[in-house]
Structure formats: C-alpha cells, structure tokens
Amino acid sequence: MRPHDLVNARMRFFRDDRTNATATATAPAVPGMAFHVTGYALSFSGTPASVVQVELRSNGVPKERIELAAGYIAPLKPTDMSVRPWEMPVGEVTEFVCPALGAGIEVAMTLKGFYSTPSP
C-alpha cells in the first residue's frame, strides 16, 4: 500500500443484521479498484450453542477465520476490531460472514475499509 492511499482514503462501512440467518457485510467489487480492509465489528444478542467461526472472504474464498468460544461471547456487545490495512484482490467482492447462531439470536456485522487503485 502506498502512503497516499491512506491520506486520500474515503472510509466505507458495509453492514448486515440478521436474526437466525447468516449475516454477510459485503463490500462490492469495483472494476480496477482494490478494497483495503481496515477493520470489522460484530455483535450478538444472545449466547450461541457452540463455537462461532466468522470469516473474511474475497470472492467467496476465506482469507481469514476467527473462532469465538460460545461461553466467551454470551452475548457479545458491539466489538470493534481494527487491523493493519489489508489489500484484497483487485475487482473482487469482499465479505465479512457469520453463520446463523440459533433461534432468536441477532447478529450484526460491519466491514470497514476503503477503495484505491492497486499497489504496484
């Protein structure tokens, strides 16, 4: 990533909320542009029955997986995780995905980042 990418970056936020369904915060593909992930946030309204695996994907391919123990996230208040900007492949859809957690449990997912021309 080039330093001016951060200086000129316009932050984007993509959010999805679901109850007992897969939640997917999606940054759409932009031709000729790379999406840079700068962080993500998630929250759960209740206690899931088992370990939860959330994934960061590019065109449906997992790039990073985070496992959260069920007892640890009962319920999870909005948790914001910032990461060193991570450049995803040019022109690909970027998704932050959490599976359904059970009856009546709401999941809120937010993906944060910016678009720029690809690094040389």
Predicted local confidence at residue 52, as pLDDT: 86
Question: All domains of the chain, ordered by start, with CATH?
Answer: 3-116 (2.60.120.340)
Closest alpha carbon to 79 in 39, 36, 52: 39
Distance in angstroms (rounded) separating the CA atoms of residues 10 and 113: 8
Predicted local confidence at residue 98, as pLDDT: 92
The 3 state secondary structure assigned to the chain is CCHHHHHCCCCEEEEEEEECCCEEEEECCCCCCEEEEEEEEEEECCCCCCCEEEEEEECCEEEEEEEECHHHHCCCCCEEEEEEEEECCCCCCEEEEECCCCCCCEEEEEEEEEEECCCC
Predicted local confidence at residue 120, as pLDDT: 67
pTM for this prediction: 0.82
Predicted local confidence at residue 50, as pLDDT: 84
Predicted local confidence at residue 8, as pLDDT: 63
Digitized pLDDT (tens) for each residue of the chain, 120 residues in all: 555 555 567 889 999 999 999 999 999 999 999 999 988 888 888 888 788 899 999 999 999 898 887 766 666 666 777 777 788 999 999 999 999 888 888 888 999 999 988 766
Contacts (Cβ under 8 Å, ≥6 apart) of 20: 100, 101, 102, 103, 104, 105
Residue 5, phi then psi, degrees to nearest 5: -60, -40
Predicted local confidence at residue 93, as pLDDT: 95
